Amino acid sequence: MTRRPLLLALLLLALLPTLALAADKPAAPALVAGTDYEVIEGGQPFAPVKGKVEVVEVFGYTCIHCAHFQSQVSAWKSRHAADVHFVPLAAPFGGGWTPYAKAFYAAQSLGLLDKSHDAMFLALHSDGSLPLRNPAPQEIAAFYAKYGADPQRFIQAYDSPAVAARMQQADAFIQRSGVEATPTLVVNGKYRVLGNSFDDVLRIADQLVARERAGAKR
């Protein structure tokens, strides 16, 4: 006599609650153009990577909503790392946005973003170690020195033609994508995500990523 049928029966019994929960879980509501997202006519990805769906987050370090969104979008990015190319893009909207947009692209050019990105939000919105308005380049450089930057080299990058070019490239993408507020997600250059809450934004992004993934397979 074999014990395999008994073991299979016990396994099925153990799985029944999970299967019931999966069956009871409501399907995500179908997306509605104009309500959940806007189609970007003639839109193009910012920096496409073969085999991945691009999701750009247009943000600003001085934006309190971006600071509140950061932990959620970071977790979302981690869950989708296998097939989503996630691109944070600092919006050079001018005025008080400019110094920290330049700081983002300077840090990016020096390979400091992974270590400093979350900390910059905290410095501006939690501990107040950096001013929201009119920071001196030296103040910003001192912040990045905590993450391995040579202050003088950072200031050189901050004021470099390369960073100015990255600012222009970001601005061109933002303009052609119709982005007017932060944070905003843009999926594959085609869709500008709307939504009524951060959870809603990420739900919509999930479905648009799935749509693009399915389209690529076809």
- Segment-wise mean pLDDT, segments of 10 residues, the chain, 218 residues: 43 45 62 96 95 97 98 97 96 94 98 97 96 96 98 98 98 97 97 97 97 83
- Establish if 13 belongs to a structural domain: no
pLDDT of residue 28: 75
- Establish if 3 belongs to a structural domain: no
Number of domains into which the chain is organized: 1
CATH number, residue 149: 3.40.30.10
Tokens found for residue 127: 């501990």
pLDDT of residue 19: 42
- Establish if 184 belongs to a structural domain: yes
pLDDT of residue 5: 46
- Establish if 102 belongs to a structural domain: yes
Place of tokens 């920071």: 135
Sheet of 37-39, strands arranged across: 37-39, 191-193, 184-187, 53-59, 84-90
- Establish if 12 belongs to a structural domain: no
Instruction: State the DSSP H helix or E strand holding residue 37, giving kind and residue range, or none if neither.
Output: strand 37-39
Range of the domain at 58: 32-217
- Establish if 20 belongs to a structural domain: no
- Establish if 1 belongs to a structural domain: no
